[in-house]
Amino acid sequence: MNDEQLLRYSRHLLLEEIDVEGQEKLLSSRILIIGAGGLGSAAAPYLAAAGVGTITLIDHDTVELTNLQRQIMHSQRSIGKSKVSSGKEFLQGINPNLIITTHEVKASEALLDSLLPNIDIVLDCTDNFATRHLINAACFKHQVPLISGSALQFDGQISVFDFRNPASPCYACLFSPEDRPEEVSCASMGIFSPLVGIIGAMQAAQALQVLIGFGQPLVGRMLLWNALNTQIDEIRISRNPECVVCSQAH
């Protein structure tokens, strides 16, 4: 690290769990964030500030006035702009030393197959089951750790699926893609503004833990946050031997 980096990241260097070695891991890390809305808006700035070397953003959407209640990467001036270009501008303002690449498209199998061989960790910040299952399958295929978060109304959840660990379940172990639950959205159900900030920041924290390799990330566990009652619960998740994605039978 150069002198500027030593000063910028000095508060990380004071933590023995991170230190110089951990910070250098972050500086060389490549993160993919899928979704530049509420969750992505909270996760990406912390990862940028923490010194992740390369951040790739995927989102096909543009900024609307209704987004500004919770999507803090975007501002009044961003309305009408693509979320990835607005996000890139915001993140570069936090840390101009980042490499930020953007894809103003929906996540697809072909796109993920092209990107994941050069990615160290993926953050799923999307808002629908179909895309989450697509991302989960691609991460399992390429053995890339996945930090999955979701938030709706006053309820949020987050888990880590680290496919380098043979005991780790996948998203499909918990929510089978064959179930096809009814899709609900913020537009129809509403969402408490700080909730996406809480879950998104947790996603960033889990990503840093996995990348550096300290603490106990949420592998095999799902954290449930209820902002209405200010209550945190945790459920244990194990691999489903009949999972259509990660079981040996399939």
Tokens (6 digits) for 224: 């449930």
How far apart are the C-alpha atoms of 91 and 107, rounded to whole Å? Answer: 21
243 within 8 A of 178, measured Cβ to Cβ: no
Helices and strands per DSSP (H, E), number in the chain: 10, 8
pLDDT at 183: 64
Q: Which CATH class is domain 10-236?
A: alpha beta
pLDDT at 92: 97
Comparing C-alpha atoms, which of 218, 59, 26, 50 is closest to residue 125? Answer: 59
Percent of the chain with pLDDT over 90: 91
pLDDT category, 132, cuts 50, 70, 90?
A: very high
How far apart are the C-alpha atoms of 115 and 184, rounded to whole Å? Answer: 29
Spell out the domain ranges in the chain. 10-236
pLDDT at 179: 75
Quote the strand ranges of the chain, DSSP E.
30-34, 54-58, 99-103, 121-124, 146-152, 155-161, 221-226, 231-236
- Other beta carbons within 10 angstroms of residue 175's beta carbon come to 15
pLDDT at 181: 64
First to last CA, the chain: 45
Which tens digits make up the pLDDT trace of 161-208? 999 999 999 999 999 887 766 666 666 788 999 999 999 999 999 999
CA angle 212/73/198 to nearest 5° reads 60
240 within 8 A of 247, measured Cβ to Cβ: yes
Residue 188: is it exposed, middle or buried by C-beta count within 10 angstroms (0-12/13-18/19+)?
exposed
